[in-house]
Amino acid sequence: MPDPSPWLYYAVGAVATLIIGIGKAGFGGGVGLVAVPLLALVLPIDTVLGVLLPLLIVGDILSIGHHWGRQSRPHVRWLGAGSVCGFCLGAVLLSYLRYSPNFIPLLTLSVGGICLGFIGLQVYRLVGGRLTRFPDHPVAGGSVGLLAAFVSTLAHAAGPLVSLYLLEQRLDKYQIVATNLVVFFGVNLAKLATYVGLGLINAASLVESLIFLPCVPIGTVLGARLHASIPERPFMAVLYIGAALAAARLIYGTL
């Protein structure tokens, strides 16, 4: 990957971080999916994961207070129970990949493929497609939590999966955002030790996280206002088109 100009790097990083704040405050996990492939256009994917995790946690902290009390407690319990197993499996696989000589290409392909897959699901839903309905049952919730935490550990990109599951449970948009926040706050905290241990979070990545940190609260304020004032579908469609192009570029550049 050629080194981007400083202006391009900071512009892309600021936009990606704003998107994290917007997603955390107003649109659940679906918007945050855009940040990973976008930032990976100007940084190696392992650096992207390490830089974004502290920013995701700050976004969680800033947004949870606004949405606290709206989460569906049964679904938090079901998803949270499954996410423990999913995180452990994801951490084992990430540790294995970390010491592979092909770590960067493998991780880049994995992240690009995961992002494209979830974008495809979201677009299918936005155009009126119907997915298999998840039953409102602890086993279904636990299974979704397991898969979501596994994917999140590898790619920070599992929010759409949980959002789709919660939509099928007939929750309103505020409950969906709040439940997503609580579940992924726990998952993101769990990922911290693993990322530090594998060297994905280090002194250099923390400096980059601090540089982009001011964009997170700006994004959370913007996200809360956008969520209340603009139609969700066209807004999400534009973001998903951008994310799909960025993810496809990641995969193409690795092959």
Helix (H) or strand (E) holding 42: none
Residue 25: what pLDDT?
65
Whether residue 77 is contained in a domain is answered as yes
CA torsion angle 6 10 205 23 (round to 10)? -160
Contacts of 180-184 spanning 24+ positions with Cβ under 8 A = 180/28, 180/29, 181/24, 181/60, 181/63, 181/64, 181/67, 181/71, 182/64, 182/71, 182/76, 183/76, 183/79, 183/80, 183/83, 183/145, 183/148, 184/29, 184/56, 184/60, 184/152, 184/158, 184/159
Whether residue 93 is contained in a domain is answered as yes
Which candidate, 90, 84, 93, 103, places its Cα nearest to that of 45? Answer: 103
Whether residue 146 is contained in a domain is answered as yes
Domain that holds residue 215: 6-254
Residue 230: what pLDDT?
76
Whether residue 83 is contained in a domain is answered as yes
- For the chain, the domain total comes to 1
173-197 vs 138-155: helix crossing angle, rounded to 10: 50
Whether residue 202 is contained in a domain is answered as yes
Digitized pLDDT (tens) for each residue of the chain, 255 residues in all: 546 688 898 999 999 999 888 877 666 556 667 888 889 888 899 999 999 999 999 988 888 887 788 899 999 999 999 999 999 999 999 999 888 888 888 888 988 898 888 888 877 877 777 766 777 888 999 999 999 999 999 988 888 788 888 878 878 878 888 898 899 999 999 999 999 999 999 999 999 999 999 999 998 888 778 777 777 777 777 778 888 888 888 888 887
Please check whether residue 254 is in contact with residue 109, taking contact to mean a CB–CB distance below 8 angstroms: yes
What pTM, to 2 d.p., does this model score?
0.88
Whether residue 1 is contained in a domain is answered as no
Residue 30: what pLDDT?
61
CA distance from start to end of the chain:
13
